[in-house]
Structure 1
Amino acid sequence: MNEPEPLLAHIPSDIGQPDKVAYGLTVRQIIIVGATGGLAALIYYLFHQLLPVLVIAGLVLPLLAVGLVIALGRREGLTLDRFALAGLHFARAPKHMVAATDEVAGPPAWCRLRGKLPAPLLLPVRRIRTDGALELADGGVAVLVETTTVSFHLRTTVEQAALVGAFGRWLNSLPAPTQILLRARPVELGALINMIEQRADGLPHPALAQSAAEHTSFLQQLNVSRELLSRQVLIVLRDQGPTRGRRSVRREAAAAVVLRRADEAARTLATLGIHATVVDAGSAHQVLTECLDPGGWHPGPSALPDDVITSTDSQEIR
């Protein structure tokens, strides 16, 4: 029995790419090219009787070249005009920022300060609720859902078509802005190596202990010789909540809605063979910490107000 033809849909990697309206050019590109051409024509119209053609060409051709480069050129995935604006914004933005809700207070009069004061660092997340929801600075609420991946290319054509269809139906059912984040996390095998070494002596057979020792040696060599990374897939669901009422009531309503959507997303993705779990408060704290300081050493997250703090070490806690 012949399998049906696969369903192919060409989707650009930049889903925010503007539409091309004429000659493969977008509206922005047409405006830039038209304005540059109009300026060149104006220069020729005003000076063609006063200056030689070669002089006018020397003035017009560089102008046209600059306009075409700005309209058609790209760098770092951005058009050159947006790239230049982003560079200008970065050059004017403060380079030193501190955690402050308001403006940073200036030094006393007797202190001679050189340079500019640091600017307040305004993060989009204000606080993490005990249920894992993130209260945002703009008044909305977001929830993180951690998912596994699917081996798409190992499936048959029929299974691939079913996966694409089910995933498309889930995307079309989303009623609010949703972000899918793929991030690489460094992997440290030290804890796994220590656990294997501690349990190797208690194995019932010497051959098993020898295999555990060989595996520990392999893990140590792998941990030193390679930069190990693991892939984490996060789905960020958010909701603004009602526009009227007290702020606390609106946040509670938005948190209830977005948590329900997170549970529905986890159940829907489970039909695709994807294991999805709603991130709790501790894991959300860890994710935000790693995003703000990627590659750094991050101990366990801070305890919540209702958590019981215990220690399994025999050393005294000071």
Structure 2
Amino acid sequence: MSWVQPVRIPADVEQEDRIVGGFTARQVAILGGTGGFLYAAYLLVGDRMPLTLCAAIALPVGMLGVLLAIGRRGGMPLDRYLLSAIRHQRSPKSLTSAPEGIPPAPSWVAARSGQRPAPLRLPARGLTGDGLIDLGPDGVAAVAEVSTVSFALRTPDEQDALIAVFGRWLNSLSGPAQILVRAERVDLTETIATLVENAQGLPHPALTAAAHEHADFLANISARHDLLRRQVLLIIREPSTGANGRDAAAARALRRLEEAARLLSACGLTVRLLDSQATSALLASCFDPTAPPLPDGEFATPGEVITRGDRW
């Protein structure tokens, strides 16, 4: 008879393993490196200096090593936080879209001395006609919008069925996939205007009054609250290899997205591939998430010539 012993699995699956006395390998390396440095320094200068002076010098160094090992800032280990701060301080702050590089200023221009702008390196190189994101040497990515279902209102049997279908899709994955849940602002101005306009054609005065009351209710909510809506995105990425790697990667990404749509349809979910204009608007909104979304008529598609209609 075999006994099954339960094992605790942390909620954070990316949590580092603790190997010695509750410390991770990174913490052990920092503490061990600090102790080794202090021991080597004592062997070099310990015979030439008083013991109290050696202890006074070693105490701040040891405390710094302990802080770097166990300290955290904003949920991040202190050593990684300091490295990120140093990297941010040394990185250029002015970036511009120039894949070919920043040319030097002409000699006849009285340019001010200072840090020059650096090229803006983005993982997305462009968009294809069917809305796929070109990642350059990293392949392509397909972005689809997924509808949602109410899990809490389902019966236990229905919940088990939804989990089983979702598990089958996870087990069928043959490449990288990302589920992104984002929130964006909602502007009800057009909805309210359409509701008021259509209320005039309703067949009964009571329906017209109810439509106006609902429009006032929506306007009151918009004035008092910042309305948000959640958007669930499924991103499928495929690497490109070989001479015809980009086209093959695009075909694989679309095929995997169709398979996901077929499997997730059993959960009542709808998977819709974003076209080129919707993907462009999505990427633009990522640069300024707090800004309201641009109207469809005011957003240029990739390769479209932007003209100005006003006369000078």
TM interval, shorter chain, is 0.7 to 0.9
2:133 paired residue number: 134
Alignment of 1:61-210 (within 5 A): 61-114=59-112, 115-210=114-209
> How many residues were matched structurally?
298
Instruction: Tell me by how many angstroms 1:46 deviates.
Output: 5.1
Residue 299 of structure 1 pairs with residue 298 of structure 2: no
Instruction: Tell me by how many angstroms 1:199 deviates.
Output: 0.8
Query: Residue type matched to 2:280 in 1?
Result: H
TM-score normalised to structure 1 length: 0.84
Identity, % of aligned positions: 40
Q: State the Cα deviation string for residues 87-109 of structure 1 (Å, max 9, x = none).
A: 11111111111121111122221
Contact preservation (8 Å) 1:145, 1:266:
no
In 1, the alpha carbon distance for the partners of 2:216 and 2:8 equals 47
The alignment partner of 2:179 has SS state of strand
1:238 paired residue number: 237
Residue 269 of structure 1 pairs with residue 264 of structure 2: yes
Q: State the Cα deviation string for residues 58-113 of structure 1 (Å, max 9, x = none).
A: 22232222111111122233211111111111111111111211111222212122
In 2, the alpha carbon distance for the partners of 1:94 and 1:305 equals 29
Contact preservation (8 Å) 1:104, 1:120:
yes
Contact preservation (8 Å) 1:20, 1:27:
yes
Q: State the Cα deviation string for residues 245-281 of structure 1 (Å, max 9, x = none).
A: 2xxx321111111001011111222222322222222
Query: Residue type matched to 1:67 in 2?
Result: G
Contact preservation (8 Å) 1:139, 1:251:
no
Residue 17 of structure 1 pairs with residue 15 of structure 2: yes
1:3 paired residue number: none
Q: State the Cα deviation string for residues 112-131 of structure 1 (Å, max 9, x = none).
A: 22222221222222222222
Aligned-residue Cα RMSD (Å) equals: 2.7
Instruction: Tell me by how many angstroms 1:224 deviates.
Output: 1.6
In 2, the alpha carbon distance for the partners of 1:147 and 1:80 equals 38
5+ residue gaps, structure 1: 1-6, 307-315
Contact preservation (8 Å) 2:19, 2:25:
yes
In 2, the alpha carbon distance for the partners of 1:8 and 1:39 equals 38
2:275 paired residue number: 280
Decide whether aligned partners of structure 1 residues 43 and 113 sit closer, same or farther in structure 2, where only a CA change above 3 A counts: same
Contact preservation (8 Å) 1:144, 1:235:
yes
In 2, the alpha carbon distance for the partners of 1:184 and 1:174 equals 26
Decide whether aligned partners of structure 1 residues 136 and 304 sit closer, same or farther in structure 2, where only a CA change above 3 A counts: closer
TM-score normalised to structure 2 length: 0.85
Instruction: Tell me by how many angstroms 1:233 deviates.
Output: 1.2
Contact preservation (8 Å) 1:124, 1:138:
no
